[in-house]
Chains A and B, each alone.
Chain A
Amino acid sequence: MAENHAPFIVLGAGPGGYACAFRAADLGLDVTLVDPRASLGGVCLNEGCIPSKTLLHAAEVIREAAHMDDWGIGFAKPKIDLDALRAKKDDIVGQLTGGLGGLAKRRKVTVVRGTAKFTDANSLEIDGKSWSFDKAVIAVGSAPVQLPGWPEDDRIWNSTAALELRNVPKRLAIVGGGIIGLEMATVYSTLGSDVTVIEFMDQIAPGADAEAVKILAAALEGQGVTLHTATKVAEVAATKAALSLSCEGIFEGTIKADAIIQAVGRRSNGAKVSPENAGVTMDERGIIAIDDSCRTNVDGIFAIGDVTGNPMLAHRATHQGHVVAEVAAGHASALDTDLIPSVAYTSPELAWAGLTQAQAKDAGTPHKVASFPWAASGRNLASGGGDGLTKIVYEPESHRVLGATLVGRNAGELLAELVLAMEMSATLEDIALTVHAHPTLSETVAFASERALGTLTDL
């Protein structure tokens, strides 16, 4: 007989886990939420989305202030107090995670601090204590991938360490030019680091629209970031004076750095809960197979978020969490959409969802492309924005939107309209006939649609 029993137990209190636990509690279930961290929120709140956005905001203010020179407004060079900045970031994180704790209490969710491992299909162990359960949700997320063969050195950071803001290295190498790598490049270059990004694929932000990425790459280079694409780091050597990265590919040579951020992706934490003891199917990468309703192959055991594979994004996990809570409460629910938006909170932001032009072409999907350059957006110019682009991939016959990419200020916010358009099967006409406020950046979405329809008068 187990020491404890949980009718509905959620392993992991990240954005997927807590959303699942709270929704389940709202639906009347008796919920237990397990996480080894002292505070709720998982990677996202504690060492991911939120702290990175805090630092990105600080970077944005520094950059914006510097740009005002052009406008006849000069600021003195900013004094950066790293300790105070770190404290501010921790304060915001604390505010949010503390808020989550309150929400859990209000919903009477039992929070257990500890690390869980399955012992069989109906029981698990949390820090030595045995628990039986009726239904369990694996929501233990992911961790940064650690490249093999690298030296042990505390100047080699992963994304978590990078967000700790230990110091501002004079020379910073970032291995991996995906969203996390580019965001870190944005933060540290603004704080004063001489940043070099090394990306294995032939463009930064692999998978994103090439035309939009070109605009982002130019902007990053303008901020002093060196970008090496189609380049592989063959070896890393650590000496007291510096770290050196031997590179192969388009860039051949050695890069000296005072710190390195490894940002080559994330790996599922699935194996950490020993799902095999419960008979849950998991592949060699730790990815747990699920159906549309996030059920694993074992009755009563669900999996959500990063442990279920790509895209490893908080908002996907949150939606999956709700689905599982609803299914567990007896509703028919599923996440059957492919429209998971991606956003890089760089400067400018890069945001996309649905099919990119290249994906449509590769898949042989009939498509056309409509775009609007932000150089023609009044609001963009009036607010000091640089180059940007709103690009819509659409179906030529029906004019339904198949995909969208935006690069520019607030692109992440603007993308929502296009995701909704895709979910509602809206056509370019629907978007063009929707009155967008002037002057706004959101107009660029309507303008791109009008351009495709031949009704645009702003270009």
Chain B
Amino acid sequence: MSDVIAPPSVKALAREKGIDLEKLAKELGRTSIAREDLDGKSKPAPAGDISYWDVDHSAFGPVSEEPMSRFAQIASANLAAANTLIPQVTHHDRANVTAIEALRKELKSESQVRGVKLTALAFQVKALARALREFPRFNASISADVKTLILKDYVHIGIAVDTAHGLMVPVIRDADKKGLWQIGAEITDLASRAQARKIGPDEMGGASMSISNLGGIGGTAFTPIVNPPEVAILGITKTETVTVWDGDTPRPLPMVPLDLSYDHRVINGAEAARFMTYLAGLIADPRRIMV
């Protein structure tokens, strides 16, 4: 008798179709087979065989254990699914932030008066919102049955926030319609409330795209994972003054590295390159966000 769990009717159908249930179960990484699995469309389990991960680590030295919170467990499953099920490509570029830095300096005193911190991230949110209006396929989602592309006529930007209890992504709604002061204020508010775990469920989800900003920490590039059902994510690392050749002249310019991971089912490489060129242009010359 086979070790695969399957009702007699499924065993009979498998035999009629010439399907080896043991083999199929192994391929799918499963212990049980259902009728639906016999149509040949079932995919292997995302994780495959991970039994070799199950190691007694204490055999190699002292260890301690920390239970993963329910939040962390859910995030873990979602990340694994996103990384496995979405064919992702990461496109790297950089943008000159000379103008943005100058503007921020100019607005410093007003910033103090208003009590609103105008970070570089606020500009990047604004620029991304504008770019999404120009490139609607980046502001889209694939339907669950993978038969329809849903294009969104709104622009909400998710901001990944690193908190003590894990990653949270609150969302700035209608970022394309909001001014920099408001965006700056919302970023500060959402980030601090995320730290305190006081973000309502309605303040997360429904984003057009998300930004993962490591600029305040460091790094020269990374490959963020798309946060489905979004189809792209923008990673930002630390602005650095680098040598940029202006014709024959080397110039020291503050450049921010930008990393765009995208769902290749929706976006192709040329589109991504055009999008990033456009976005870098908006960041380099923020006046163009308005025109």
Q: Which of A322-347 contact B (CB under 8 A)?
A: 331-334, 336-338
Cα of A333 to Cα of B8 in the assembled complex, Å:
12
Which of A334, A337, A424 is close to B15, meaning CB atoms less than 8 Å apart?
A334
Q: With A423-B7, A423-B8, A424-B7 in contact, is A332–B16 under 8 Å at CB? A: yes
A310 within 8 A of B: no
Size of chain A's interface in residues, with CB distance under 8 A?
Answer: 11
CB-defined contacts of A425 to chain B, threshold 8 Å: 5-7, 32
Q: Are B1 and A338 in contact (CB under 8 A)?
A: yes
Cα of A396 to Cα of B15 in the assembled complex, Å:
30
Cα of A27 to Cα of B247 in the assembled complex, Å:
85
B2 within 8 A of A: yes
Cα of A331 to Cα of B13 in the assembled complex, Å:
11
Which of A331, A336, A338, A400 is close to B11, meaning CB atoms less than 8 Å apart?
A336
CB distance from B24 to the nearest CB of A (A): 15
CB-defined contacts of A338 to chain B, threshold 8 Å: 1
Which of A331, A336, A337 is close to B16, meaning CB atoms less than 8 Å apart?
A331
Q: Are A333 and B15 in contact (CB under 8 A)?
A: yes
B242 within 8 A of A: no
CB-defined contacts of A400 to chain B, threshold 8 Å: 5
Q: With A332-B15, A332-B18 in contact, is A337–B7 under 8 Å at CB? A: no
Cα of A425 to Cα of B18 in the assembled complex, Å:
22
Cα of A336 to Cα of B12 in the assembled complex, Å:
10
CB distance from A323 to the nearest CB of B (A): 10
Q: With A424-B7, A425-B32 in contact, is A333–B12 under 8 Å at CB? A: yes
Cα of A338 to Cα of B289 in the assembled complex, Å:
74
CB-defined contacts of B12 to chain A, threshold 8 Å: 333
Q: Are B18 and A337 in contact (CB under 8 A)?
A: no
CB distance from A217 to the nearest CB of B (A): 31
Q: With A331-B16, A425-B32 in contact, is A336–B2 under 8 Å at CB? A: yes
CB distance from B54 to the nearest CB of A (A): 16
Q: Are B1 and A336 in contact (CB under 8 A)?
A: yes
CB-defined contacts of A332 to chain B, threshold 8 Å: 15-16, 18
Cα of A336 to Cα of B20 in the assembled complex, Å:
13
CB 8 Å contact bits of A146-189 with B (1 = contact, 0 = none): 00000000000000000000000000000000000000000000
CB distance from A399 to the nearest CB of B (A): 13
CB-defined contacts of A334 to chain B, threshold 8 Å: 15
CB-defined contacts of B18 to chain A, threshold 8 Å: 332
Size of chain B's interface in residues, with CB distance under 8 A?
Answer: 12
CB-defined contacts of A424 to chain B, threshold 8 Å: 7-8
Cα of A425 to Cα of B5 in the assembled complex, Å:
6
CB distance from B279 to the nearest CB of A (A): 53
Cα of A331 to Cα of B1 in the assembled complex, Å:
20
CB-defined contacts of B7 to chain A, threshold 8 Å: 423-425
Cα of A334 to Cα of B12 in the assembled complex, Å:
8
CB nearest neighbor in A for B5? A425
Cα of A424 to Cα of B34 in the assembled complex, Å:
11
CB distance from B72 to the nearest CB of A (A): 26
Q: Are B5 and A337 in contact (CB under 8 A)?
A: no
CB distance from A198 to the nearest CB of B (A): 35
CB distance from A266 to the nearest CB of B (A): 25
Cα of A1 to Cα of B16 in the assembled complex, Å:
37
Q: Which of B1-47 contact A (CB under 8 A)?
A: 1-2, 5-8, 11-12, 15-16, 18, 32
CB distance from B283 to the nearest CB of A (A): 56
Cα of A66 to Cα of B11 in the assembled complex, Å:
49
CB nearest neighbor in B for A337? B1
CB-defined contacts of A333 to chain B, threshold 8 Å: 12, 15-16
CB distance from B231 to the nearest CB of A (A): 40
Cα of A400 to Cα of B32 in the assembled complex, Å:
13
Cα of A424 to Cα of B12 in the assembled complex, Å:
13
CB-defined contacts of A336 to chain B, threshold 8 Å: 1-2, 11
CB nearest neighbor in B for A336? B1
CB nearest neighbor in A for B2? A336
CB nearest neighbor in B for A425? B5
Q: Are A337 and B32 in contact (CB under 8 A)?
A: no
Q: Which of A309-366 contact B (CB under 8 A)?
A: 331-334, 336-338
Cα of A334 to Cα of B21 in the assembled complex, Å:
14
CB-defined contacts of B1 to chain A, threshold 8 Å: 336-338
CB-defined contacts of A331 to chain B, threshold 8 Å: 16
Cα of A332 to Cα of B18 in the assembled complex, Å:
8
CB distance from A367 to the nearest CB of B (A): 16
CB-defined contacts of B15 to chain A, threshold 8 Å: 332-334
CB distance from B67 to the nearest CB of A (A): 21
Cα of A332 to Cα of B7 in the assembled complex, Å:
17
CB-defined contacts of B11 to chain A, threshold 8 Å: 336
CB distance from A457 to the nearest CB of B (A): 30
Cα of A337 to Cα of B2 in the assembled complex, Å:
9
CB nearest neighbor in A for B16? A332
CB distance from B286 to the nearest CB of A (A): 61
CB distance from B101 to the nearest CB of A (A): 61
Q: Which of A232-267 contact B (CB under 8 A)?
A: none
CB distance from B21 to the nearest CB of A (A): 10
CB nearest neighbor in A for B32? A425
Cα of A338 to Cα of B1 in the assembled complex, Å:
7
CB distance from B238 to the nearest CB of A (A): 50
CB distance from A413 to the nearest CB of B (A): 20
CB distance from A146 to the nearest CB of B (A): 35
CB-defined contacts of B8 to chain A, threshold 8 Å: 337, 423-424
CB 8 Å contact bits of A358-402 with B (1 = contact, 0 = none): 000000000000000000000000000000000000000000100
Cα of A333 to Cα of B15 in the assembled complex, Å:
7
CB distance from B248 to the nearest CB of A (A): 73
Cα of A332 to Cα of B5 in the assembled complex, Å:
20
CB nearest neighbor in B for A400? B5
Cα of A336 to Cα of B1 in the assembled complex, Å:
6
Cα of A337 to Cα of B15 in the assembled complex, Å:
14
Q: Which of A429-449 contact B (CB under 8 A)?
A: none
Cα of A264 to Cα of B8 in the assembled complex, Å:
34
Cα of A336 to Cα of B3 in the assembled complex, Å:
12
CB nearest neighbor in A for B1? A338
CB nearest neighbor in A for B6? A425
CB distance from A173 to the nearest CB of B (A): 40
CB distance from A401 to the nearest CB of B (A): 12
CB nearest neighbor in A for B13? A332
Cα of A190 to Cα of B8 in the assembled complex, Å:
41
5 contacts between A and B (CB under 8 A): A331-B16, A333-B16, A334-B15, A424-B7, A425-B6
Known: A333-B12, A423-B8, A424-B7. 4 other contacts (CB 8 A): A331-B16, A337-B8, A400-B5, A425-B6
Q: Name the 3 nearest CB pairs between A and B, nearest first.
A: A425-B5, A332-B15, A423-B8
